[in-house]
Amino acid sequence: MMNKDQKKQYIDEMTTQFDKSETVIVTHYQGLTVSQLDDLRKRMREHGIIFKITKNRITKLALEKTKCKDISKLFIGPTAVAMSEDAITSAKILTKFSKENENLKILGGIMGGDILGVAEVKNVATLPTLDEARAKIVGILRSPAQKIISILLAPASKIAILALEKSKK
């Protein structure tokens, strides 16, 4: 049981975390073992994501003062939240973990100012991460340059043949 000071501290801490987070995803964890929860927390921590089991009544009080107040109805039953700056990574980890462990159920969340349902969280999980998107862009930008270099390095006869083919079109 928490005393009054501990409750106030918990509310202040949760309010700060909700306000700092770009994304909050709410889950039910009933049926997961302690080792499974530790594994999930470890995966989240590796990416700078906070995964916390909540006290619903007190968490709802913390939510009232934040931009996340619209998701307070999700806090029913054994609830845990993932709070992070990176929506895609947290959605990917939770979606993958929920496929591996059917006892973890994604309830929804909030990203920026947008409320997310279960389907939206799973859609976000399919998006490329920032690093993956950057790699794709670099690949696209490098492709034409590689083609030009291969043409310039080709023998003169191949260039003449290529020019002839282009002129016929």
Q: For residue 27, what pLDDT is reported? A: 92
Domain boundaries, the chain: 4-127, 131-168
The 10s digit of each residue's pLDDT in 21-73 is 888 999 999 998 999 999 999 999 998 999 999 888 888 888 887 888 888 88
Q: What is the pTM of this model?
A: 0.74
**Interval 79-89 mean pLDDT:** 89
Q: For residue 154, what pLDDT is reported? A: 63
Q: For residue 158, what pLDDT is reported? A: 65
Q: For residue 123, what pLDDT is reported? A: 85
The 10s digit of each residue's pLDDT in 123-159 is 888 887 777 777 887 877 777 766 666 666 666 666 6
> How many angstroms separate the Cα of 48 from the Cα of each of 44, 45, 89, 148?
6, 5, 10, 42
Q: Is the pLDDT of residue 81 over 90?
A: yes
- Residue 38 has φ and ψ, to the nearest 5°, of -65, -40
Q: Is the pLDDT of residue 79 over 80?
A: yes
Residue 71 is inside which H or E element, if any?
A: none
C-alpha span between 51 and 58 (Å, rounded) = 17
Q: Is the pLDDT of residue 76 over 80?
A: yes
Structural contact between residues 21 and 52, judged by C-beta atoms closer than 8 angstroms:
no
Band of the pLDDT at 80, cuts 50, 70, 90?
very high
Domain 4-127 class in CATH: alpha beta
C-alpha span between 151 and 14 (Å, rounded) = 60
